[in-house]
Amino acid sequence: MALSSKSADEISELLDEYGIKHGPVVDSTRSLYEKKLKEAMAKGKRAKPSSDKTYYREEEVTYVYRTPVRSEASRDSGTYMRSRPEWSEREYEQETSYSDYSRSRPEYRGRDFVDEPYTYSSPSSYREFYSRSTPVKSDQEAPKSSRLVPLWVQLVFFLAVAVFLYVVFSSMETNESLIGLE
Amino acid sequence: MSSTSQKHRDFVAEPMGEKPVMALAGIGDVLGKRLADKGFDKAYVVLGQFLVLKKDEELFRDWLKEISGANAKQQGDCYGCLKEWCDAFL
């Protein structure tokens, strides 16, 4: 990176990127700023280029990516996610991470089976993500132990409640047999 | 007020006019010569540089060190002198 061949504006921009406070880049200040930039680069400070690369909080969001093995179940939990966002953090680790950030999807390289919390963002994004989830092969045995309440338990519970309600309802219809009410 | 040298007090007492660079606090013969060789032969030229560096202490000290090899005390004295002069007259 030949700093001396850069224009004053470019030097100024670089200084901003490295967060170096500076005045105008004129003849008498140029060498000072070039020196400062060299030091900053050598230290490997994090430079924040302004536009093209946007790092969307990579450390927060990890791509937990799996094939929805129990695809039907997954779909259910998909709706769960929408209605119960408070579950989404821990329980749905087998689901794809739904950060809607416009990063290219193939970023979920090695992080497939890591259970980490991810940022829950707008529902529309994971809908689209969903449709692409099938091509990726993943471990079929999702570590259920990491979920607070396993999915099948939720389903069983749901069915039990449904059955119970049905029983109550049907017993209200008929006068003669009061099943389960007394 | 922290102890300032007589040189400092003399400098900030009046507009600098055409005073040589060696009139600045912290700048003695050796440093003054080096600065003059680089074109900073008058105090107001150093003032110009001070202003272009937006009166920022760190930048000015770094610059002074780079151009003349001033040590930390000399840098501090010169910075303080110019800063106070600016506060009074600029």
pLDDT higher at A30 or A124? A30
User: Residue A53's pLDDT is what?
Assistant: 52
- Inter-residue contact B27 to B78 (CB < 8 Å): yes
What tokens appear for B15 in the block?
């507009």
Mean pLDDT, residues B28-36: 95
User: Residue A149's pLDDT is what?
Assistant: 81
Nearest residue on chain B to A36, judged by CA atoms?
A: B62
Residue that is written with structure tokens 């309802």 in the block:
A169
Chain B residues with beta carbon closer than 8 angstroms to that of A36 = 62
Q: Which residues pair with B20 in a beta bridge?
A: B42
User: Residue B36's pLDDT is what?
Assistant: 95
Pick the CATH number of B6-89 from 3.30.70.1050, 3.40.50.1100, 2.160.10.10, 1.10.150.40: 1.10.150.40
Mean pLDDT, residues B40-54: 96
Determine whether the interchain pair B59/A23 forms a contact, defined as Cβ–Cβ distance below 8 Å.
Answer: yes
- Inter-residue contact A106 to A113 (CB < 8 Å): no
Across the interface, which of A29, A31, A35 has its CB nearest the CB of B53?
A29
Whether A2 shows a pLDDT value over 90: the answer reads no
pLDDT category, B22, cuts 50, 70, 90? very high
Q: What is the pLDDT of residues A95-128, one digit of tens each?
A: 444 444 444 444 444 444 454 455 544 445 445 5
User: Residue B63's pLDDT is what?
Assistant: 95
Nearest to A7 by CA among A19, A22, A25: A25
d(C-alpha A67, C-alpha A74), whole Å: 10
- Inter-residue contact B21 to B35 (CB < 8 Å): yes
Q: SS3 for A145?
A: helix
d(C-alpha A95, C-alpha A68), whole Å: 7
- Inter-residue contact A142 to A94 (CB < 8 Å): yes
Whether B64 shows a pLDDT value over 90: the answer reads yes
Nearest to A125 by CA among A88, A151, A96: A96
**Average pLDDT taken over every residue of chain A:** 66
Give the whole-number percent of chain B exceeding pLDDT 70.
Answer: 98
Angle at which helices A27-43 and B43-52 cross, to 10°: 50
pLDDT category, A181, cuts 50, 70, 90? low
User: Residue A172's pLDDT is what?
Assistant: 86
Whether B52 shows a pLDDT value over 60: the answer reads yes
Whether A140 shows a pLDDT value over 70: the answer reads no
Does residue A36 sit at the B interface (CB-CB below 8 Å)? Answer: yes
Q: What is the pLDDT of residues A31-72, one digit of tens each?
A: 999 999 999 999 876 666 666 555 555 555 555 555 555 544
Domain ranges in chain B are 6-89
Across the interface, which of A22, A26, A31 has its CB nearest the CB of B59?
A22
